[in-house]
A = this chain, B = another copy of it.
Amino acid sequence: MTVLENALRESADRVGQELDQILTTDTAPEQRLIDAMRYSVLGGGKRLRPFLTLQVAGLFGVSERSALRAAAAVELVHCYSLVHDDLPAMDDDDLRRGKPTTHKQFDEATAILAGDALLTLAFGVLANPATHSSPAVRADLVVRMAKAAGGHGMVGGQMIDLMAAETELDIGAITRLQRLKTGALIEFACISGAVLGNAPQKAREALRGFAHDLGLAFQIADDLLDVEGDEAEAGKALRKDAGQGKATFVSILGPERARSQAELLSQQAVEHLAVFDDKADLLRMAARFVVDRRR
């Protein structure tokens, strides 16, 4: 296993434990909902976004406790978005991370409510005094998360994506779509670590550039996986974009140019990190990883 794979695994374990603690089970009548939330969140996944939060937090000496809570909030939002995006009325997916999607395992109503409750919980985690001693930092995180995840962020991106089957999108429109749909939360994952550590403006700008390029590289790699990947390895249905006639980076650029574009973005992402010393090496490796990954 590579250094990065080890670090990702170790980080995923810590985040998984934190999420397990946050999503406590009890015997309340609404336990079915909590079960669905736990199913949606504790089922594995790469945990790339919380990894970014932890790594960035590490650059600025943020306490383990603060970093883990912010990282967990990021993952809660990511998981809620998967639960809702998988619904029959949306992307209609039966499989996620090699397991039945939440609405298949439970039912549609429970999946909608579990997503709602995960999103709500994420804000509660960010604003809770346990996340940071400074209420200004906590309120700032909530404002930034609301922007990244909201109507002109992640949810807006999903709206455009749903309309993409019926709209002719050019490369500029697709770039904006993906910047909203996946880029905004990836940027929040990075910036939240800097906010927790009260990082200087120059560092924040570097991280914003890093997150932007990494996010796009990640998405192009995702489009390539959708075309070239193995369903068993991916743990979800592939080749859906082409089936729906959706424009993607790959359908417009072709696989070769898409791949070289992703690699260019990955290099650019690394270059943004030049302001940091070797403490940012795992972030540099992550920028390479997102274009090389198989799932």
Which residues of A does B touch, CB under 8 Å? 28-30, 32-34, 37, 80, 84, 87, 89-90, 107-110, 112-113, 115-117, 119-121, 123-129, 134-136, 138-140, 142-143, 145-147, 149-152, 155-160, 162-163, 173, 176-177, 180
- A-B contacts, 13 of them at CB < 8 A, read A28-B152, A80-B116, A84-B116, A89-B108, A110-B159, A110-B162, A113-B155, A113-B158, A113-B162, A119-B120, A123-B142, A127-B139, A135-B136
User: What is the copy number of this chain in the assembly?
Assistant: 2
The 8 A-B pairs with the shortest beta carbon distances in the complex, nearest first, are: A124-B146, A30-B156, A89-B108, A127-B142, A117-B151, A135-B136, A33-B159, A120-B150
Are the CB atoms of A159 and B89 closer together than 8 Å?
no
- Give Cα distance in the complex from A19 to B166, angstroms: 31
Are the CB atoms of A155 and B110 closer together than 8 Å?
no
Are the CB atoms of B126 and A32 closer together than 8 Å?
no
Contacting residues, chain B, for A140 (C-beta < 8 A): 127, 135
Are the CB atoms of B109 and A157 closer together than 8 Å?
no
